[in-house]
Amino acid sequence: MALSRRSLVAGAAILAASAKARAAADADVVVIGAGAAGLAAASAIRRGGHSVVVLEARDRIGGRAFTETALGAGRSFDAGGQYVHWAERNPWREIARAAGVRTSDDATSPWPVLVKDGVRASEAERRQRRAGFGRVSLLLDHPDASPAAPDRSVAEAVAGEDEAARAAATGLTRLTLGEEPDRVSCADYDQLWSGDDIWVDGYGALVAGHYAGLPVRLGTPATMVDWSGPGVAVETPRGTLRAACAILTVPVGVLAAGSLRFTPALPAATAEAVAGLRMGAYTKIGLALDPARLREQDLRDAVILQSGTPGLTAYLEMQPFGKPLAVLHCGGDGARALCEAGEGAALAAATDHLASVFGTGIRTAVTAGRLAAWWTDPFARGSYSIARPGRLPAREALRVPVADRIFLAGEALAGGGAMTVGGATLDGERAAAAVLRRLGS
């Protein structure tokens, strides 16, 4: 087809515009968010020979992989990710080994002691609970053989089961996903990574150390992404950064909250996919303990304290890696309420929990505490992404780039690796590979 004068002029204008965009660009690629996905993406872009700048809202890197050190020397704990899930295929197993960090195998951990409403469970109750978990894993591991069967929530899947199975389902979704069973998709749960877990002493510090030296601008939240021109212009309180492409790795909870704006608005399909996911509220509360005030039996067990449904389902990690520390893990609406109540109320609740397991004397051993309130954290808005029942395709849909210049990445897009550091890392690398192809590398 012969070119008309009009198309020649239009073509020249586009060339001029993109040359202008390149000349004005601060980097080839801007990465928004310095969690595992953003850091992995930035590292891959640099290896691919392109310039990259990472914008991070917090004053640190690592995002939801974060080793909390506020309780002092020798009492650090991972406020976010702590297990290398599905170690067989997770890049962080080898990275942890090479870095020489302490790890612990799940198989060597003590069997948890069940305490219900302050009373240690009898052997019969323990057996009943194990039977409930067995029944639930059978139901959830094989939700329905037919691909055409409609997805349903975990609560729906166990609705016809006995009380032990329903309680097990609630404990499972709250303590592995941070969410209530009626909001969790069976199909999504079924596709999540399984396999061996390795517990890392300082997963957050490992992630931050591994990616040290990347060009990250800390304390620089993106407030608006303008993709109306040939590239992207990202507004921050410290000025605007221009690039050919953006890799957007903020949690889906941040996207849903609307604190990061887009001009023009994100396409309907992307917005619809964001709406298909919600954030769970997995929460940890670290309590510093004075070893001199503890009795031998206080330190011995990992303890699950189950206060039923509704209520706070929680478990206590006692002296992780031998540290004088108790870490309370909880999830679902009870955890949301604690985050909303604030640190003082959450520490009091965690201390009550500790006392209901070990007796009131242990209260004097608690010297300080720290709430990891991801649910109320404006740069996380929850612990990790949960697919709403029937909305599993949302994860895949978010991988479709916006106008070939905004590439989303992160745990929410990681398929079976969703909700994990390993999944986020691999997904950051996937997005970077797509950007490198787009840049012609």
Ligand X SMILES: Cc1cc2nc3c(=O)[nH]c(=O)nc-3n(C[C@H](O)[C@H](O)[C@H](O)COP(=O)(O)OP(=O)(O)OC[C@H]3O[C@@H](n4cnc5c(N)ncnc54)[C@H](O)[C@@H]3O)c2cc1C
Contacts with ligand X, residue ranges (CB under 6 A): 32-38, 55-58, 63-65, 80-83, 85, 221-222, 249-251, 254, 260, 282, 284, 374, 379-380, 383-384, 410-411, 419-422, 424
Cβ-Cβ contacts under 8 Å for 313 (sequence gap 6 or more): 170, 171, 174, 175, 306, 307, 330, 331, 332, 334
Report how many helices (DSSP H) and strands (DSSP E) the chain contains, helices first.
14, 22
What DSSP character marks residue 65? Answer: -
Task: Give me the least distance between CB of 412 and ligand X, in Å please.
Answer: 7
Query: 310: which 2 tokens?
Result: 């509704």
Instruction: With residue 119 as reference, give the H or E element that holds it.
Output: strand 119-120
**For residues 84 and 420, what is the distance between their CA atoms, to the nearest angstrom?**
8
- Helix then strand then coil, in percent of the chain rounded to 5, is 45, 20, 35
> Least distance from C-beta 49 to ligand X, angstroms?
23
**Residue number, 316 or 362, with CB nearest to ligand X:** 316
Q: How far is the CB of 46 from ligand X (least distance, A)?
A: 17
Separation CA 274–CA 395 (nearest Å)? 8
84: buried, middle or exposed (CB in 10 Å: 19+, 13-18, 0-12)? buried
Question: Closest separation between CB of residue 423 and ligand X, Å?
Answer: 7
Q: How far is the CB of 56 from ligand X (least distance, A)?
A: 5
Q: Which is nearer to ligand X, 112 or 143 (CB)?
A: 112
The least distance separating ligand X from the CB of residue 58, rounded to whole angstroms, comes to: 4
CA distance 250 to 384: 11
Which CB atom, from 58 or from 242, has the smaller least distance to ligand X? Answer: 58
What ranges in 173-302 are assigned the alpha helix state H? 186-191, 203-210, 252-257, 268-275
Nearer to ligand X among residue 33 and residue 202 (C-beta) = 33
DSSP 8-class letter at 225? E
- Residue 295 beta carbon to ligand X: minimum distance, rounded to whole angstroms: 29
- Shortest distance (Å) from residue 374 CB to ligand X: 4
Q: Which is nearer to ligand X, 34 or 157 (CB)?
A: 34
Intra-chain end-to-end CA distance of the chain, in Å: 30
- Per the CB < 8 A criterion, the answer to whether 381 and 254 are in contact is yes
Nearest distance, CB of residue 336 and ligand X, angstroms? 13
Nearer to ligand X, 179 or 298 (CB): 179
d(CA 62, CA 421): 10
Residue closer to ligand X, measured from CB, 251 or 334: 251
Q: Which is nearer to ligand X, 52 or 365 (CB)?
A: 52
Is 288 or 418 the residue whose CB approaches ligand X more closely? 418
Query: How would you class 138 by CB atoms within 10 Å of its CB: exposed for 0-12, middle for 13-18, buried for 19 or more?
Result: exposed
Nearer to ligand X, 208 or 357 (CB): 208
- Alpha-carbon distance values, 356 to 289, 336, 337, 353, 361 (Å): 16, 21, 20, 5, 10
Q: What is the smallest separation between the CB atom of 340 and ligand X, expressed in angstroms?
A: 16
Nearest to 65 by CA among 210, 219, 229, 224: 210
Q: Which is nearer to ligand X, 128 or 259 (CB)?
A: 259
> From its phi and psi, is residue 74 left (phi > 0), alpha (psi between -120 and 50) or beta?
left
Q: Residue 162 Cβ, how far from ligand X at the closest point, in Å?
A: 30
Q: Which SS3 state, helix, strand or coil, does residue 318 take?
A: strand
Q: Which residues contact 174 (CB under 8 A, 6 or more apart)?
A: 180, 313, 330, 331, 332, 334, 335
